[in-house]
Amino acid sequence: MYSVESFGLPDASPVIPEGCGLNAVHLLMRHGARYPTSDSGPSQFAAEIYSAASNEGFSVTGDLEFLATWTYKLGAEILTPVGREEL
Protein backbone atom coordinates (compact mmCIF):
# COMPACT_ATOMS: atom_id res chain seq x y z
CA MET A 1 0.00 0.00 0.00
CA TYR A 2 1.14 3.52 -0.68
CA SER A 3 -0.30 6.98 -0.43
CA VAL A 4 -0.23 9.55 -3.19
CA GLU A 5 0.42 13.19 -2.49
CA SER A 6 -2.83 14.86 -1.56
CA PHE A 7 -3.63 18.09 -3.36
CA GLY A 8 -4.33 20.73 -0.75
CA LEU A 9 -3.28 18.51 2.17
CA PRO A 10 0.52 18.55 2.14
CA ASP A 11 0.78 16.99 5.62
CA ALA A 12 -1.55 14.04 4.86
CA SER A 13 -0.24 10.64 5.91
CA PRO A 14 -1.26 7.06 5.00
CA VAL A 15 -0.75 6.06 8.65
CA ILE A 16 -3.99 5.65 10.61
CA PRO A 17 -3.84 7.94 13.67
CA GLU A 18 -3.69 6.26 17.07
CA GLY A 19 -7.17 5.68 18.46
CA CYS A 20 -8.77 5.46 15.02
CA GLY A 21 -9.86 2.33 13.17
CA LEU A 22 -10.31 1.38 9.55
CA ASN A 23 -13.92 0.35 8.81
CA ALA A 24 -14.04 0.33 4.99
CA VAL A 25 -11.91 0.71 1.91
CA HIS A 26 -13.28 2.11 -1.33
CA LEU A 27 -11.52 1.25 -4.57
CA LEU A 28 -12.18 3.14 -7.77
CA MET A 29 -11.04 1.59 -11.02
CA ARG A 30 -11.79 2.54 -14.59
CA HIS A 31 -11.82 0.03 -17.39
CA GLY A 32 -9.00 0.10 -19.92
CA ALA A 33 -9.32 1.41 -23.48
CA ARG A 34 -11.97 -0.36 -25.51
CA TYR A 35 -13.38 -0.32 -29.01
CA PRO A 36 -16.36 2.01 -29.66
CA THR A 37 -19.80 0.79 -28.65
CA SER A 38 -21.97 -0.76 -31.34
CA ASP A 39 -24.21 2.32 -31.47
CA SER A 40 -21.34 4.83 -31.66
CA GLY A 41 -20.49 7.10 -34.57
CA PRO A 42 -17.84 4.87 -36.20
CA SER A 43 -20.06 1.79 -36.09
CA GLN A 44 -23.06 3.68 -37.43
CA PHE A 45 -20.95 5.16 -40.22
CA ALA A 46 -19.70 1.68 -41.13
CA ALA A 47 -23.27 0.36 -41.25
CA GLU A 48 -24.32 3.19 -43.56
CA ILE A 49 -21.40 2.59 -45.92
CA TYR A 50 -22.07 -1.16 -45.98
CA SER A 51 -25.76 -0.55 -46.71
CA ALA A 52 -24.97 1.90 -49.51
CA ALA A 53 -22.31 -0.37 -51.05
CA SER A 54 -24.77 -3.29 -51.03
CA ASN A 55 -27.20 -1.36 -53.25
CA GLU A 56 -26.83 -1.32 -56.98
CA GLY A 57 -26.00 2.09 -58.29
CA PHE A 58 -23.49 2.84 -55.51
CA SER A 59 -20.49 4.28 -57.29
CA VAL A 60 -17.32 5.73 -55.87
CA THR A 61 -14.23 6.88 -57.68
CA GLY A 62 -10.93 8.50 -56.98
CA ASP A 63 -9.74 8.72 -53.38
CA LEU A 64 -13.01 7.23 -52.10
CA GLU A 65 -12.96 4.14 -54.32
CA PHE A 66 -11.91 1.97 -51.36
CA LEU A 67 -15.38 2.46 -49.84
CA ALA A 68 -16.90 0.06 -52.39
CA THR A 69 -15.22 -2.88 -50.62
CA TRP A 70 -14.40 -1.41 -47.21
CA THR A 71 -15.45 -3.27 -44.07
CA TYR A 72 -15.37 -2.18 -40.44
CA LYS A 73 -12.80 -4.36 -38.72
CA LEU A 74 -12.83 -3.01 -35.18
CA GLY A 75 -14.60 -4.90 -32.46
CA ALA A 76 -17.36 -3.37 -30.38
CA GLU A 77 -17.52 -2.91 -26.64
CA ILE A 78 -14.50 -5.11 -25.90
CA LEU A 79 -11.14 -4.17 -24.49
CA THR A 80 -8.40 -3.38 -26.96
CA PRO A 81 -5.08 -5.20 -26.52
CA VAL A 82 -3.69 -2.07 -24.84
CA GLY A 83 -6.84 -1.83 -22.70
CA ARG A 84 -6.26 -5.32 -21.30
CA GLU A 85 -2.80 -4.19 -20.16
CA GLU A 86 -4.08 -0.92 -18.68
CA LEU A 87 -6.11 -2.68 -16.02
Q: Give me the helices (H) in the chain, please.
A: 41-54, 81-86
Is 31 annotated in the active site?
yes
CB contact at 8 A, 43 and 36: yes
User: How far is the C-alpha of 59 from the C-alpha of 67, rounded, in Å?
Assistant: 9
Catalytic residue among 13, 19, 25, 31: 31
Active-site residue numbers? 31
